[in-house]
Amino acid sequence: MTAAPPRPETDLPGLDPAWSRHVPVTDRTGATHVWHVLDTGPATGTEGAGAGDAAAGTLLCVHGNPTWSYLWRRLLAARPAGWRVIAPDQLGMGWSQRLDRPRTLAERVADLGDLSAALGLTGPVVTVGHDWGGIVSLGWALAHREQLRGVVLANTAVAMPEGDRGPALIRMAHAPGVRSAVTVGTPVFVRATTALSRPPLPPAVRDAFAAPYRTAARRRAVGDFVADIPFAPGHPSRPVQEEIAEGVCGLDVPALLLWGPRDPVFGERYLTDLRGRLPHAALHRFEGASHLLPEDAPQYAEAVADWVTGLGSGVDPSASRPGIHSAHRPLWAALEERAGDPSPAVVEAGGRATGWDVLARRVAELAAGLAAAGVGPGSRVALLVEPSADLTAVVYAVWRAGGVVVVADKGLGLGGMRRALGSAAPAVVVGSRAGLAAARLMRLPGRRIAAGPLPVAARRALRVEATLDELAARGRGAPPPPVADPDADCAVLFTSGATGPAKGVVYTHRQARAQLELVRATYRLTPADRLVAAFAPFALLGPGLGIGTAIPDVDVTAPGSLTAAALADAVAAVDATAVFASPAALRRVVATAGDLTTAQRTALGRVRLLLSAGAPVPAALLRAAGSVLPRAEPHTPYGMTEALPVTDVSLAEVEAAGEGDGVCVGRPLAGVEVSVSPLDDRGRAAGPLTAEPGVLGEVCVRGAHVKDRYDALWLTERAASRDPGWHRTGDVGALDAEGRLWVAGRLPHVVTTAAGPVAPVGVEQRVERLAGVAACAAVGVGPAGTQALVAVVVPSGEARPPGRRAGRLRLAGADLAAAVRAAAGSPVAAVLVTDRLPVDVRHQSKVDRTLVARRAAAHLAGSRRP
Amino acid sequence: MRVLVTGASGMLGRATATALAARGDEVTVLQRRPAGLPLREVLGDVADPDAVGRAARGQDAVVHLAAKVDVTGPWREYLHANVTGTRAVVDACRGAGVGRLVHVSSPSVAHAGAALVGVGAGPADPAAARGAYSRSKALAERLALAADGGPTAVVAVRPHLVWGPGDPQLVGRIVARARTGRLPVVGTGAALVDTTWVDNAADALVAAVEAPVHGEALVVSNGEPRPVGEVIAALCRAAGAPPPRRSVPLPAAWAAGALAEGVWAATGRRDTPPLTRFLAGQLATAHWFDQRRTREALGWAPRVPLDEGFARLARWYAADPSR
């Protein structure tokens, strides 16, 4: 035995020196090694001391290579009450004793068992592992099943997926000549690991990670660790690795997977492998995070603390969901009922009509074909097909086969779609030629099915297994697949991504059916109605509602390209009684109304319902739409990807409501409950749910049609569903005495003044009513709870003088400032003017108030001292 | 209640003494020259222990405002008035068993020059404070708060940029320069600054006499930060003076301030130079404050909003064209 190993410096960022200590442990061979551990102790005040178990349990955290227990410092700091956190440095690593020979995987697992025994851990344990610490921690977990309460894994692997030869970067470092030079002879590997972080780590943190590995002698185990990774079948550690990988499949304790999708070491396929082994695991993907997840996503610590606190509480969030036990009518029921009806079910742009009979047959054949091709309960099928009868048929066929459709809007852009669809891990991609080409560019997983015929070369290049026609042929005469469980998933849709990465939203069959029924009841739709879906998502509703649908000639990514004539042609094609459109589409329709022929005007004159959805609709636009659709009653639903619709308001009701604090979106629909969670003085929606009029808070929704959960976003889901059964929308607003909801902005945009929270939309509306003001953004500057309210105004007719940068801010003149202050309704600290407000990339319509606030804060801080 | 107010010849001292008398207190004022108030008066130097001791005898509370407030002048004058003066007041309070000392300080005692955005009252720091006034006031505040806990409960109140009718310091200088067309805007004029209408500041000091808070410093302002260019323009408008049209970039103003300071120091001039680096910095960087702790601790809120203050100032100027 050598002298006591050195200790970590006492001033490493985030590390409490009281946690650090050395523990001598004798292994099975009789050899004694000195371990370094970070240890919170069993109770407060016992940091780094004491044996035995904490009241609730112990988190045993195992780092990988070439890091050390420093990786877990935030989890030690965030430990929940009653929990002890122990993070050892593996032998030869960190500040533990150096070894005279390499340690194998089997030895490392045994070592950890010796350590836990020496520490007297006999009570409940949750293991936590990162990188190659993952498999070591799981080895311990399998050997201590009786005390294991859960496993947490972050960017790790237990097995090489079939045909995989290990992470390319590690494989490179594994090559014998390279390995010793990179891992031991130089600090390249040690330094490169912390260089993977996104965003980059502060230099002091990178230095802290490198601190125990300053000399080649101290790095020896780093190289040995890499050498012990069993890439090839014959590797001495391979049997143990395979045994652990196999054993994990039988682990029935709760599991939490935390993943940084930008990891160049452990890519998506390792996550897929882990999810296959632990299908019950909760998963949170930290979009933007890379390999060193505990560094890139510091909030992981709170997530783990939250998760272990919830273990064994036995709360089933679905228990409080309304409608869970109601009878279920399958989504495709109308198709089966109208299987003999030749009238048009879908009319595409250009006029091609598909009858109910043809569509029903197509869906039945495709469903059987998909089932024969392996699409069954839970199979995720990504759809990259333009709105068409074929898209409609595939969606209903996937449902009929028990699968889950994954749909992302092209408006997300290729990068956004890649992140979104990739996060859903589809098993199958159905695409048009363009869609499949995009899928290849996005490197999406999954088998490929082409929506139309393809030349042989393209077919090979795009790895197409079959076309829809081939699947339908295969399904002809095949037995119909078994009907899906109503409470199984049916769809993963994505939020708009206007305020961060798009989030996957999961619906079950029952929830999707509840949504259809809500739309039917709200708008009194009967089989005598036909609709034109100028807003792409609605095109899929028709067959579910049992009403014919026409898709007008419009580019789905540019809804503003719909002309009045194109709308009229679609209306005439199905003799439509209802039009579903987005505000952007409506604006262009109004603008091009002059081009309509008499026949087109007549067709539009039969429409009784105009539904405008997707973004807030100005009343003036709805009124103008009356000139094109004279008999249609304009309606606007309020809702979001997670719950749509929530409320509805007609133009007449908007006008009757008059001016208020925000946008009046009407009353909650029948069967839908709306409450608000009141804001505290720092703008957090902390208060208990209430429906009391006039209380400003985060809008919360409950109903049978609300989403089941967020996909692969455990943390987000937990935050959005804090009140069991309710969905937190992230919007702020208030109910009025008549039960109407007024939406006043987004939660992060609330200005927290010393006099209380101020929601931006009411202020903006009052300022925008001033003559000479074209647009206004109300934002806060300064610390939460004492912010100053700032109005950034675009004067009407404001043209940017040549040479001035777009979006530049300057002080408003005295008269404008006085007028804005008088109108705002809350004390305004500063009035700034600009030539345009920045809008979100996604919609080009929602003002990016966060960016406005940042610019205003910089401007109002004044000049920097010279 | 019997209250001594030091420095009652200044705008805020006068307003505070008047407000205390108006609520029925028996008020004594102490300063070098007669203040012209219908109150018991002790004339003397605030740094003279005898004079202060005499004035403090029998008082229930002391509100200590007397100070040298300027941007130039030798350090020893600041040391004498602000530090020695405060020591004399503190000693007199303790000697006479006065139960309450309200020490009037300045937010500049905790301001090292960077923008202050919604901050609370940081600790007074003589080493970092900029300029002789701020440094001496920082020493004085530390001295005053260190005396808390004996027979005398001490609170430090830091009113920020107090203005009102008859104020020769802030309003007087701005208006005088605007009338001669020599008032530029420094930087963009957008820096948010807190200011305090004089009667609100006086109310806060009156509230501090009774409030249970002690051993603590509290910044007092109107709680209505505004862009500095807007404040200056509003003051000019109230006085019927032309608001500034020219704007000077901060580096230029900073250089001009440095030059003026050098010239004034070299020639021993006693008047105030047109610009100093301290002033240039104050005019170009944000300084506004979190008022939540102050309002809670003093049980006080400003009664006169900023715009009402501007209107009152305009009426005051309009009442006498010679002003």
Asked if residue A851 belongs to a domain, the reply is yes
Asked if residue A52 belongs to a domain, the reply is yes
Looking at residue A234, its pLDDT comes to 83
Provide, as residue numbers in chain B, all residues whose Cβ is less than 8 Å from the Cβ of A811: 188-190, 227, 229-230
Cα A740 from Cα A754, distance rounded (Å) = 28
Query: CB-CB: which of A787, A830, A864 is closest to B227?
Result: A830
CB contact under 8 Å between B284 and A862, yes or no, is: yes
Cα A112 from Cα A101, distance rounded (Å) = 17
Which residue in A has a C-alpha nearest to residue B187's C-alpha? A863
Residues A800 and A651 in one domain: no
CB contact under 8 Å between B117 and A857, yes or no, is: yes
The residues near B176 (Cβ < 8 Å, ≥ 6 apart) are none
CB contact under 8 Å between B119 and A783, yes or no, is: yes
- Phi first, then psi: give them for residue B228, nearest 5 degrees: -60, -35
Asked if residue A485 belongs to a domain, the reply is yes
- Our measurement of the distance from residue B279's CA atom to the centroid of its chain's CA atoms, rounded to an integer in Å, reads 15
pLDDT in tens, B66-97: 999 887 889 999 999 999 999 999 999 999 99
Residue among B143, B136, B192 nearest B306 (CA): B192
pLDDT in tens, B240-250: 999 888 777 77
Residues A638 and A698 in one domain: no
Distance in Å, alpha carbon of A250 to nearest chain B alpha carbon: 56
Among residues A310, A342, A375, the one where a domain terminates is A310
The average confidence (pLDDT) of chain B is: 91
- Phi first, then psi: give them for residue B64, nearest 5 degrees: -105, 105
pLDDT in tens, A443-479: 999 999 999 999 999 999 999 999 999 999 999 989 9
Asked if residue A212 belongs to a domain, the reply is no
Residues A381 and A438 in one domain: yes
Distance in Å, alpha carbon of B202 to nearest chain A alpha carbon: 22
CB contact under 8 Å between B118 and A865, yes or no, is: no
Query: CB-CB: which of A810, A829, A862 is closest to B187?
Result: A862
Query: CB-CB: which of A811, A817, A862 is closest to B286?
Result: A862
The residues near A309 (Cβ < 8 Å, ≥ 6 apart) are A80
Residues A573 and A692 in one domain: no
Residues A338-363: what's their mean pLDDT?
94
Given a contact cutoff of 8 angstroms between Cβ atoms, the answer to whether A492 and A406 are in contact is: yes
Cα B284 from Cα B186, distance rounded (Å) = 6
Token pair for A795: 């004067």
Name the range with the highest mean pLDDT among A1-10, A841-850, B46-55.
Answer: B46-55
- Phi first, then psi: give them for residue A220, nearest 5 degrees: -60, -45
The active-site residue out of B78, B133, B163, B317 is: B133
Looking at residue A556, its pLDDT comes to 62
Q: Which of residues 806-835 of A touch B (CB under 8 A)?
A: 809-811, 814, 817, 821, 827, 829-830, 832
CB contact under 8 Å between A865 and B113, yes or no, is: yes
Taking the complete model, does pTM exceed 0.80, yes or no? yes
The residues near A853 (Cβ < 8 Å, ≥ 6 apart) are A749, A779, A780, A781, A790
Secondary structure (DSSP) of B291-314: -HHHHHHHT---SS-HHHHHHHHH
Looking at residue B286, its pLDDT comes to 93
Residue among A486, A491, A569 nearest A537 (CA): A491
Given a contact cutoff of 8 angstroms between Cβ atoms, the answer to whether A748 and A644 are in contact is: no
Looking at residue A605, its pLDDT comes to 95
Looking at residue B283, its pLDDT comes to 77
Residues A529 and A616 in one domain: yes
Residues A441 and A571 in one domain: yes
Asked if residue A559 belongs to a domain, the reply is yes
Q: Taking the CA of residue A767 as centre, how many other CA atoms within 13 Å lie in the half-sphere pointing to its CB?
A: 32
Residues A795-820: what's their mean pLDDT?
83
Provide, as residue numbers in chain A, all residues whose Cβ is less than 8 Å from the Cβ of B248: none
pLDDT band at A325 (very low <50, low <70, confident <90, very high): low
A754 at B interface, C-beta within 8 A: yes
Residue among A748, A713, A715 nearest A729 (CA): A748
Chain B positions touching chain A (beta carbons under 8 Å)? 113-115, 117-119, 186-192, 223-230, 233-234, 237, 249-251, 254, 281, 284-286, 288, 290-292, 307
Looking at residue B112, its pLDDT comes to 81
End-to-end, the C-alpha distance of chain B in Å comes to 36
Query: CB-CB: which of A785, A788, A866 is closest to B225?
Result: A788
Asked if residue A119 belongs to a domain, the reply is yes
Cα A567 from Cα A600, distance rounded (Å) = 9
Token pair for A92: 């030869």
Which residue in A has a C-alpha nearest to residue B227's C-alpha? A830
Looking at residue A51, its pLDDT comes to 62
Inform me whether the pLDDT recorded for A1 exceeds 50: no
Residue among A432, A388, A439 nearest A554 (CA): A388
Distance in Å, alpha carbon of B259 to nearest chain A alpha carbon: 15
pLDDT more than 90, % of chain A:
74
- Phi first, then psi: give them for residue A745, nearest 5 degrees: 135, -170
pLDDT band at A856 (very low <50, low <70, confident <90, very high): very high
Residues A132 and A272 in one domain: yes
Number of domains in chain A: 4
Query: CB-CB: which of A754, A786, A862 is closest to B190?
Result: A862
Q: Taking the CA of residue A225 as centre, how many other CA atoms within 13 Å lie in the half-sphere pointing to its CB?
A: 30
Query: CB-CB: which of A821, A832, A862 is closest to B115?
Result: A862
Token pair for A693: 């009029």
A168 at B interface, C-beta within 8 A: no
Domain CATH number, residue A823: 3.30.300.30
The average confidence (pLDDT) of chain A is: 91
A761: containing domain = 750-860
Token pair for A246: 């196999």
Query: CB-CB: which of B224, B230, B285 is closest to A827?
Result: B224
CB contact under 8 Å between B291 and A787, yes or no, is: no
Secondary structure (DSSP) of A91-144: TTSTTSPP-SS---HHHHHHHHHHHHHHTT--S-EEEEEETTHHHHHHHHHHHT
CB contact under 8 Å between A811 and B250, yes or no, is: no
- Phi first, then psi: give them for residue B116, nearest 5 degrees: -110, 115
Cα A368 from Cα A374, distance rounded (Å) = 10
Residue among A545, A609, A599 nearest A577 (CA): A609
CB contact under 8 Å between A862 and B188, yes or no, is: yes
B317 is catalytic: no
Distance in Å, alpha carbon of A754 to nearest chain B alpha carbon: 7
pLDDT in tens, A645-660: 999 999 999 999 998 8
A81 at B interface, C-beta within 8 A: no
Which residue in B has a C-alpha nearest to residue A865's C-alpha? B281
Looking at residue A319, its pLDDT comes to 45
Helices (H) and strands (E) in chain B, counts: 12, 15
Residues A599 and A511 in one domain: yes
Domain CATH number, residue A90: 3.40.50.1820
- Phi first, then psi: give them for residue A691, nearest 5 degrees: -110, 15
CB contact under 8 Å between A786 and B117, yes or no, is: no
Interface test with A, best of B111, B230, B304 (most A CBs within 10 A): B230
The residues near A384 (Cβ < 8 Å, ≥ 6 apart) are A429, A430, A431, A432, A434, A435, A436, A438, A439
ipTM: 0.92
- Which residue reads 């005053």 in tokens? B144
pLDDT in tens, A578-597: 999 888 888 899 999 999 99
CB contact under 8 Å between B191 and A863, yes or no, is: yes
Inform me whether the pLDDT recorded for B276 exceeds 90: no
Looking at residue B259, its pLDDT comes to 76
CB contact under 8 Å between B292 and A787, yes or no, is: no
- The torsion angle over the Cα atoms of residues A826, A832, A838 and A840, rounded to 10 degrees, is -10
Looking at residue A322, its pLDDT comes to 53
Asked if residue A182 belongs to a domain, the reply is no
Residues A464 and A527 in one domain: yes
pLDDT in tens, A220-255: 999 888 888 887 778 889 999 999 999 999 999 999
Domain CATH number, residue A504: 3.40.50.12780
pLDDT band at A5 (very low <50, low <70, confident <90, very high): confident
Residue among A471, A479, A463, A422 nearest A445 (CA): A422
Which domains does chain B show, CATH number per domain?
A: 2-163+196-223+289-303 (3.40.50.720)
Among residues A596, A616, A645, the one where a domain terminates is A645
End-to-end, the C-alpha distance of chain A in Å comes to 60
Provide, as residue numbers in chain B, all residues whose Cβ is less than 8 Å from the Cβ of A781: 117-118, 192
CB contact under 8 Å between B187 and A857, yes or no, is: no
A675 at B interface, C-beta within 8 A: no
Token pair for A700: 């919360």
Report the SS3 class of residue A290: coil
Provide, as residue numbers in chain B, all residues whose Cβ is less than 8 Å from the Cβ of A830: 190, 192, 225-227, 230
Residues A739 and A757 in one domain: no
Distance in Å, alpha carbon of A800 to nearest chain B alpha carbon: 18
Query: CB-CB: which of A830, A861, A864 is closest to B117?
Result: A861
CB contact under 8 Å between B188 and A786, yes or no, is: no
Asked if residue A718 belongs to a domain, the reply is no
Residues A772 and A735 in one domain: no
Among residues A601, A628, A645, the one where a domain terminates is A645
Size of interface A-B (CB pairs under 8 A): 96
The residues near B309 (Cβ < 8 Å, ≥ 6 apart) are B163, B164, B197, B222
Inform me whether the pLDDT recorded for A6 exceeds 70: yes
Cα A782 from Cα A857, distance rounded (Å) = 7
Looking at residue A175, its pLDDT comes to 74
Token pair for A123: 């009570």
Cα A669 from Cα A737, distance rounded (Å) = 16
Given a contact cutoff of 8 angstroms between Cβ atoms, the answer to whether B202 and B103 are in contact is: no
Looking at residue B7, its pLDDT comes to 95
Residues A248 and A339 in one domain: no
Given a contact cutoff of 8 angstroms between Cβ atoms, the answer to whether B30 and B66 are in contact is: yes
Token pair for A140: 């311990």
- Phi first, then psi: give them for residue A77, nearest 5 degrees: -70, -30
Provide, as residue numbers in chain A, all residues whose Cβ is less than 8 Å from the Cβ of B286: 860-862
CB contact under 8 Å between B188 and A783, yes or no, is: no
